[in-house]
Structure 1
C-alpha cells in the first residue's frame, strides 16, 4: 500500500525522511505534462524536484533512484497515485502520493502557485 499525504503534511514527511535517511535527499516527482509544469510549479525546499511526465515513467525508471524517498505530484493527485502504485510494484519501498496535487499545494502551502 502507498501512503497518501496532503501538501500541508509535506514538511512533516520531509522531517521523517531526514530522521530515517539523513543522507538521502527526498525527491518530489512531478508527473505532469510539460505545459502543466510551465503553467504552475513548486519551489524545491528540502527536496529535489524532478519532472517526468507519467507516460515516460516506465521507459525512464532507471533514472529514479530506489534508495531515496519519493513523493509523487500531479494536478489533483490521480496520476501521481497511479505512478506511486506503479513504483511500489516495481520495488520502490519509500513512496508516497501527494493527495490533492499541485492544486492543493497552492491552497495549503503556497498561494503563489497558480491554479489551473
Structure 2
C-alpha cells in the first residue's frame, strides 16, 4: 500500500523525514509550464510518467520520494511502480497539484 500525503498535511510529513525529500512530478511538459510547485525544503525533479522506467537511474534510493501529478492517479501508479522496483520510501501526493493549489498554495494555477 502506498502512503497518501495530502498537501494540507505536507509540513507534518516533511518533519517526519530523516533525509531531504524529492518531489517527483510525473506530469507532461505542457502541464509543468501551466502550473508547478516551488521547491522549498525539498528537491523537485520532473520526469513524465512514461519516461520513468528508462530514467530510474536518476532517482535516488536513499531519500524519500513524493510523487505528484494533476489529480493523483498517475503519481499513484508511478509510486506503485517505484515500490515494485525496490524503492522503499515512496508516497503519493493525494489530489495532485490541484489539491496542492487548493489546500497549500493558492498561487499555483488550476487547470
TM-score tier after normalising by the smaller chain length: over 0.9
Indicate the RMSD between aligned Cα atoms, in angstroms: 0.6
Structure 1: 4+ residue segments shifted above 6 A: none
Q: Distance in 1 between matches of 2:40 and 2:103?
A: 15
Using structure 2 for the length normalisation, give the TM-score. Answer: 0.98
Using structure 1 for the length normalisation, give the TM-score. Answer: 0.94
CA drift of 1:45 comes to: 1.1
Any stretches of 5+ residues in structure 2 without a counterpart? none
Any stretches of 5+ residues in structure 1 without a counterpart? none
Q: Distance in 2 between matches of 1:9 and 1:94?
A: 17
CA drift of 1:12 comes to: 0.8
2:8 paired with 1:13: no
Q: Distance in 2 between matches of 1:88 and 1:12?
A: 22
SS of the counterpart of 1:4? strand
Counterpart for residue 71 of structure 1: 66
CA drift of 1:9 comes to: 1.1
2:103 paired with 1:81: no
Q: Distance in 1 between matches of 2:44 and 2:10?
A: 13
SS of the counterpart of 1:43? coil
Mapping 1:91-110, distance limit 5 Å? 91-110=86-105
Work out which of the residue numbers 39, 43, 46 in structure 2 matches 1:44: 39
Deviations 1:16-43 (A, max 9, x none): 00xxx2xx31000000000000000011
SS of the counterpart of 1:36? helix
